[in-house]
Amino acid sequence: MSHPYTFDPLPQPAVAPGEFFFAAVGLDHGHIFGMTDGLIGAGATVKWVFDENPDRVASFMQRYPTARAASSEQEVLDDPEVRLVATAAVASERAPIGLRAIEAGKDAFVDKAPLTTFAQLEAVREATARTGRKYAVYYGERVHSEAAILAGQLIERGAIGTVLQVVCFGPHRIGGGRPDWFYDPEQYGGILCDIGSHNFEQMLFYTGATDGRVSTSTVANYAHSDTPGLQDFGDAHVVLDNGTTGYVRVDWFTPDGLGVFGDGRTLLLGTDGYIELRKYIDVATDNGGGQVILVNQEGQYRFDANGMTGFPYFGQLIRDCIDRTETSMTQAHALKAAELSLQAQGEALVLAP
């Protein structure tokens, strides 16, 4: 069925080659590649890479030939050309790295979960308020998903009226070869803090809320007794400050028969319709991921979002760093999502298997 909607033009590079340099410090999570790809796609140049593991550094440099191996984090921080420091270190180390970048006069771009304790949250809030520097967060399940971006544009155009509820499902596959920190809640922050942070951000974004409270949350280790620190299930219900609600369920139970790491879906209920996002796979079809299904008063529509939106967040972030604006994501929004994830994690009822 044809649709009546027009969408935003594809983003163009935000800067010319060599105009904006950034560095990668801490390569523990593979999200560093998505973060780097996004920035490079928007025109930035990666100048330095630093990690304690030389194999990871070599792999990064092979993929990004402009990157040079730094002898230390301090060498990166001492380079006045570096405007932004990106990190996907162990989750508990992301805030310390980001704060050191801020104190060195640079902006920080950290993987989710952006922090793992309330003390880190307060330290980041204090540092960003005092310095005016940015602590940007890679909430990739929205800012690096064309389906999620297209849904935002549909909501802006009134396709489903006022959003009333956001329901997110974030199943993942554990796989093999995970590092030790993956099983230590002190280091990964717990399942709602870690995976769930994506989803609390989406609740705030799609509803337009600026605050909220966690009404209930649970975590469990149902089926991985050999790794007791792992939480393989978590869920939470959130009441937001504008009267809307959100629900998230995250888990490590993706079966081997699925062709991707997880069947991540988001449901957006509005007063005049609903949207379903099938971000990574449309099960038992050849459609692939990036599917957006819209049902409203006018009809039923399916969009293949691949190639429709690009990823405007990265160019906006680059311009924000240069122009000292907040077009990509406000600091308050990024940290409120993190705060909700900490609250959900800290207040969670631990379920017995």
What's the pLDDT at 353? 73
Sign of torsion over alpha carbons 302, 307, 309, 312 = positive
| Residue 306 pLDDT | 98
For residue 216, the model assigns a pLDDT of 98
Task: Identify the CA nearest to 279 among candidates 338, 334, 202.
Answer: 202
With residue 147 as reference, give the H or E element that holds it: helix 146-156
Peptide bond into 113 cis (omega under 30): yes
* Confidence (pLDDT) at 247: 98
This model's pTM is above 0.75: yes
Which of these, 56, 104, 54, lies nearest to 84 by C-alpha position? 104
Rounded distance, CA 342 to CA 118, Å?
7
In terms of Cα–Cα distance, which of 191, 138, 187 is closest to 334?
A: 138
Residue 257 pLDDT = 96
Alpha carbons 304 and 320: distance in angstroms, whole number: 30
CA distance 343 to 339: 6
Q: What is the mean pLDDT of each run of 10 residues along the chain (353 residues)?
A: 92 97 98 98 98 98 98 98 98 98 98 98 98 98 98 98 98 92 97 97 98 98 96 98 98 96 98 98 97 98 98 98 98 98 98 85
